[in-house]
Amino acid sequence: MIKLLIQPVAIVIAILVAPLAWAQLDRLENPINDSTVIYRADYFAEFLPASASDMISRIPGIGLAMRRGRGGGGRGLGSGEGEILINGQRITGKGNTGQSLLSRISADQVDYIEIIRGTSEELDIRGSGQVINVVLLDTPSRSNTTIEVNADRLRDGTLDPGGQVSFSGQTGTFNYLFHVEAESRSSNRLSKEFSFDPDYNLLETRQEESNRDQTDYQTSMNLGYTFETSVLQFNALYGKSNPPSDLTRTIHDFESGTSRRQREDNQADRSNWEIGGDYEYAFANGGKYRFLFIVNDREFEFSRQRFDVSSDAESKNLFLANLGRDRERIARTSYTWNLSDTQGVELGVEAAQTIRDSNLRLGLDIAGTQSPDYGNLVPVAINNSGSTVEELRYETFAAHNWQLNPKMSLESSLIIETSTIEQSGDVSNKRDFNFVKPKLDYRFDITPSLQLRAGLEKDVSQLSFSDFSASVDGSDEDQDTQAGNPEISQEQSWRYEVNLELRLPDDIGVVNSQFFYRDMEDVIDRIDVSPNPDDLQSARGNIGDGTRYGLNLDVSVRLAMLGLPNALLTTGLGLRDSEVTDPFLGIKRRMRNNGRWSARMSFRHDITDLALSYGLFYSNNSNDSSGRVAIDIIDIEQRKNQPNLSAFIEKKAFGNITFRFDAQNLSDNEFCRTRTRFVGATAAGVVEEIEDFCSGNGLKLVFKARATF
């Protein structure tokens, strides 16, 4: 299958790229030493962009840099890999990041955008990919206000409004950005399930419709002040959401010939805030001191109540409540200086405290004493249902950046990590960890447009503290909760990567290939934590060693050869494989959620004469492999993905108002799953029931109007 996919893709790439690459190499008889690509504001003028995000979307191959973002779930502040810089500075936040600011910065405030393909100790970024730096105009005074309103139409006809307002500018050396938004996240989901016995005789059908009425409210600010020899930045964010949801379920039992109805009343309440900042001071000798910090707090509460419904009454049969709080406090400081014209060094330390409080309550309609704290049902004891998990982690790091010659650079770094994880509450446990994490990043500019990148890194994953204690099982009606595992450890891997990137002449496009290999230990998956043979339970834990490897091919090219100079086609194909030993069956298999291939394609065409743009996005994934099979202690799931297709059209009119219409999930994509349940343990192989399940949100239409003043 892999060979069948590689051959046609390779042929298409060769046909499109070979003549362009030859022309490019022919033009580079006198290459220059500059691996940074700069797009000035006038490059985007004909596209009439409204925001920095609009500008970036017109750059060929920009997804190669954007995809490497680690998001808000990384360990501490770290090296900042994948982060987007604003004026060369990191935004110290987990929710309030450089990428989130792109849609809030109006296009008329951008001076130029850099794609930094080299390495430098000056950036405060350590990554094996590229870095995006958005540089704003440096003027004595500027300000503007951006307003966006939107409306979402769901499959059931529900209309949900939303909007956001941003106010940004600069006064002297002080810059600011204030933002407030109310964003709709509502959904209407239809699900169906068919249950069969081992001989595929129909036993039961279930039909569900769930509606979630959700609006996320958020406000944030970013402040910066530039002194003569230093820069000070401060940012803050607050978010709130309390989405109620309801569900109706109809169950037809074909063995008894009866039908019954259920409904669910689910409530959620979430809030979060974060404060971050950084300070940078430049010494006269060229050295730089940096200090970064972040403090954040997230609280959530979820309750689920299920009722059996008859013609004249209803009775509650389930109450499930999950409460939690996550807190994080991080500080990072470093000093950078040059050893020579070609070498720089950074030394520093990072300290982080992470705390998670959790409590899970389960009430059932069984014999016993009812409690109002359990929805007036009978409390059911859950092992390890209430706990506090705290991690104290310290990292000492050193990085050395060496420009070997005008075409080659080598960045090496070493991190020594020590941490203590302590769990208290229903379970008491304390463990110490020590890791040594080296990294090498080699880059060779064969020509200014052809770059080879090779990297080696020891990686230690961030543990999810929700795995330490019991939690809600939201995907299985027969199991309301999942067990926790106080002994889970960090997944570790040696990561090897080789990239070859070619930037085509006249900004026609970018071609990139990446090979990766992961040599892993303490792989995290489901393991057996059963207290006894009559009470089979599983939890996330470490299953031993494993490997992952693959090839990513990406092409982003303007279609000038087809007479469409302002049309951008971006395609990507990922081929991968993996191997671990399954803890339940003792067999070699692929890793969970690691299919053999994935493909994606996006197309955007700007008709500048009409101030009109349109485009589409398509993605698909493999299904027929053990990488889509999830083996657990009492069941096996075969997960099936379907193609996803979305499209948009955008028009600028009435001066500076941009109208946009999105059609999401045009293909009516659904998530499907076949679950095989067993009598007793999966390893015994005695099939009890087979369930075919599919669920989807259907088509969603979104209308937006945006104006900048």
pLDDT, one tens digit per residue, over 347-404 is 999 999 999 999 999 999 999 999 999 999 999 999 999 999 999 999 999 999 999 9
CA angle 168, 169, 173 (to 5 degrees): 135
Mean pLDDT by 10 residues, the chain (709 residues): 40 39 35 69 90 90 66 60 81 82 89 84 64 87 92 94 94 93 94 96 96 95 93 95 94 94 95 95 93 95 95 92 95 94 94 96 94 95 94 96 93 96 95 96 92 95 92 84 93 96 91 96 96 92 96 94 91 95 95 90 94 95 81 93 94 91 95 94 95 95 93
Token output for 14: 């060769």
Return the CATH number at 558.
Answer: 2.40.170.20
Number of domains, the chain: 2
Tell me the DSSP string of 75-131: SSSTT-TTPPEETTB----SSS-HHHHTTTSBGGGEEEEEEE-S--GGG----SS-E
The domain boundary, picked from 138, 162, 188, lies at: 138
CB 514 within 8 A of CB 552: yes
The one-letter amino acid code at 144 reads N
Question: Which pLDDT value is given to residue 98?
Answer: 80
Query: Looking at the whole model, is its pTM more than 0.75?
Result: yes
17 occurs within a structural domain? no
Question: Which pLDDT value is given to residue 25?
Answer: 36
174 occurs within a structural domain? no
541 occurs within a structural domain? yes
498 occurs within a structural domain? no
- Whole-number Å distance between alpha carbons of 261 and 257: 14
Question: Which pLDDT value is given to residue 183?
Answer: 94
- Whole-number Å distance between alpha carbons of 237 and 183: 15
Domain that includes residue 50, residue range:
35-138
The domain boundary, picked from 104, 138, 172, lies at: 138
SS3 507: helix
CB 488 within 8 A of CB 530: no
The domain boundary, picked from 138, 166, 196, lies at: 138
297 occurs within a structural domain? no
Considering the chain, what is the average pLDDT of its residues?
Answer: 89
Hey, what's the torsion of the CAs at 639, 641, 642, 646, to 10 degrees?
140
SS3 14: helix
Question: Which pLDDT value is given to residue 4?
Answer: 40
CB 400 within 8 A of CB 429: no
Question: Which pLDDT value is given to residue 16?
Answer: 40
677 occurs within a structural domain? yes
Handedness of CA 448, 451, 456, 459 (dihedral sign): positive
b/e map of 575-594 (b: 16 or more CB within 10 Å)?
bbbbbbebbbeeeebbbbeb
Q: Which residues contact 437 (CB under 8 A, 6 or more apart)?
A: 414, 415, 416, 417, 457, 458, 459, 460
Question: Which pLDDT value is given to residue 33?
Answer: 40
Tell me the DSSP string of 413-473: EEEEEEEEEEEEESS-EEEEEEEEEEEEEEEEESSSSEEEEEEEEEEEPPP-GGGSS-EE-
Q: 364: how many CB neighbours lie within 10 A of its CB?
A: 18
674 occurs within a structural domain? yes
- Whole-number Å distance between alpha carbons of 152 and 700: 7
Return the CATH number at 77.
Answer: 2.170.130.10
Question: Which pLDDT value is given to residue 128?
Answer: 58
Question: Which pLDDT value is given to residue 604?
Answer: 95
619 occurs within a structural domain? yes
